[in-house]
A and B are shown apart, each in its own frame.
Chain A
Amino acid sequence: MNDMVEVKVNGESRAVARGATLLELLESLALDPRAVVVEHNRTIVRRPALAAVTVAPGDAIELVHFVGGG
């Protein structure tokens, strides 16, 4: 059995380790959890919960932050 699963991160397919948490996903992407907001299958996951939520195949994850705007 493959130990990687496919998820969508910001609209792009990515392979992540089976059973990885959202916090581990951020670490693998070299993203500071304090600098992004995580939406997991349309639900916002607060920072303290990132280590408790594991990703499943087909999950849609959005990682957003503030950019310049009017």
Chain B
Amino acid sequence: MTTAVETIRDVPFTIGGRSFHSRLMVGTGKYRDNDTMARAIEASGAEIVTVAVRRVDLDRTKEEGVLYHLDAKRYFLLANTAGCYTAEDAVRYARLAREAGFNEFIKLEVIGDQETLLPDVQGLLVATRTLVAEGFKVLAYTNEDLVTALRLEDAGCAAVMPLASPIGSGLGLLNPFGVRTIKRRLQVPVVVDAGVGTASDACLTMEQGVDGILMNTALAAARDPVAMARAMRQAVEAGRTAYLAGRMPKREVAMPSSPLEGMLD
């Protein structure tokens, strides 16, 4: 007898008219060294890789940017506006990122609070409208509030990115209902961004039916980032497949798995 692994039929993961093979997107920040980063990204299987826009260090011109360690032909670089606290700043960073010449996609962050790094949803909407009008494909980092997500979709976002929990917290998916509701109500892709800490978080997140996950610290701050990247790749695939498979209903009483008939007297 031969066994074959059946592949589950899935829809392509498409954002802004571009299809990607991996539903896992990863960041490039906070790795202990560039070699570990490159190997972790490789192990994650991610195609979309985020980067930030910052000043060149003029006193250490030998230090190359992140592109020196990442093949820009192999990965789809998604620039972010991390660190921006106003719509105006975020738009400025987005324009600079686009000028770097890779693509018109931008991961839009407008932060509203320094301690929690929670988004300023009003600033997010203002910046989204400006950037969409300029031809950007906006992927907006937001909270798990449905109404904000709907407004962002209306404003023309290519994808909406609700958080699992605060950036860098590793607290996992705090509001599965909120994320699931956003996914159910939006037409554009929903990619959970931030807060995933370990593989079970990623799996649980994908089981909500979202289109993908973006993570950074979960890999960079793991004791072994390369091994964690591999685990995350498997978890995202497992969670996606489980979602497509359709889980059994939960019930509050036990149901025997073995027949009740044929028991001995």
Name A residues whose Cβ lies closer than 8 Å to a Cβ of B: 9-12, 29-31, 35-37, 39, 42, 44, 46, 62-70
Q: A37-B99, A44-B99 are in contact. Are A70 and B53 (CB under 8 A)?
A: no
Q: A70-B27, A70-B82, A70-B216 are in contact. Are A65 and B58 (CB under 8 A)?
A: no
Task: Give the complex CA separation of A68 and B100 in angstroms.
Answer: 15
Task: Give the complex CA separation of A29 and B58 in angstroms.
Answer: 7
Residues of A within 8 A of B67 (CB): 35, 65-66
Q: Does B65 count as interface, using CB distance less than 8 angstroms?
A: yes
Residues of A within 8 A of B168 (CB): 70
Task: Give the complex CA separation of A32 and B204 in angstroms.
Answer: 45
Q: Does B231 count as interface, using CB distance less than 8 angstroms?
A: no
Is B99's CB under 8 angstroms from A69's CB? no
Complex interface residues of chain B between 24 and 53 (CB less than 8 A to chain A): 27-31, 37, 50-53
Q: A37-B96, A64-B96 are in contact. Are A70 and B54 (CB under 8 A)?
A: no
Name B residues whose Cβ lies closer than 8 Å to a Cβ of A: 27-31, 37, 50-56, 58, 61, 64-67, 77, 79-80, 82, 92, 95-97, 99-100, 167-168, 194, 214-217
Task: Give the complex CA separation of A65 and B208 in angstroms.
Answer: 36
Task: Using CB atoms, name the residue of chain B closest to A30.
Answer: B61
- Residue from A10, A65, A66 having most chain B Cβ neighbours under 10 A: A66
Task: Give the complex CA separation of A36 and B65 in angstroms.
Answer: 9
Task: Using CB atoms, name the residue of chain B closest to A14.
Answer: B58
Question: Which 5 pairs across A and B sit closest by C-beta, in order of nearness?
Answer: A69-B52, A70-B27, A70-B216, A68-B28, A66-B51
Is A67's CB under 8 angstroms from B66's CB? yes
Beyond the given A10-B58, A68-B30, please list 17 additional residue pairs across the A-B interface where CB-CB is below 8 A: A29-B61, A30-B61, A62-B96, A64-B53, A64-B55, A66-B66, A66-B97, A67-B65, A67-B66, A68-B51, A69-B29, A69-B51, A70-B50, A70-B82, A70-B168, A70-B194, A70-B214
Partner of B66, one of A29, A63, A68: A68
Residues of A within 8 A of B61 (CB): 29-31
Identify 30 residue pairs between A and B in the complex whose beta-carbon atoms are under 8 Å apart, listed by A's number.
A9-B58, A10-B55, A10-B56, A10-B58, A30-B61, A31-B61, A42-B92, A46-B99, A62-B55, A62-B96, A63-B58, A65-B53, A65-B67, A65-B100, A66-B51, A66-B53, A66-B65, A66-B66, A66-B67, A66-B97, A67-B28, A67-B51, A68-B27, A68-B28, A68-B51, A69-B28, A69-B51, A70-B167, A70-B194, A70-B214
Task: Give the complex CA separation of A36 and B200 in angstroms.
Answer: 39
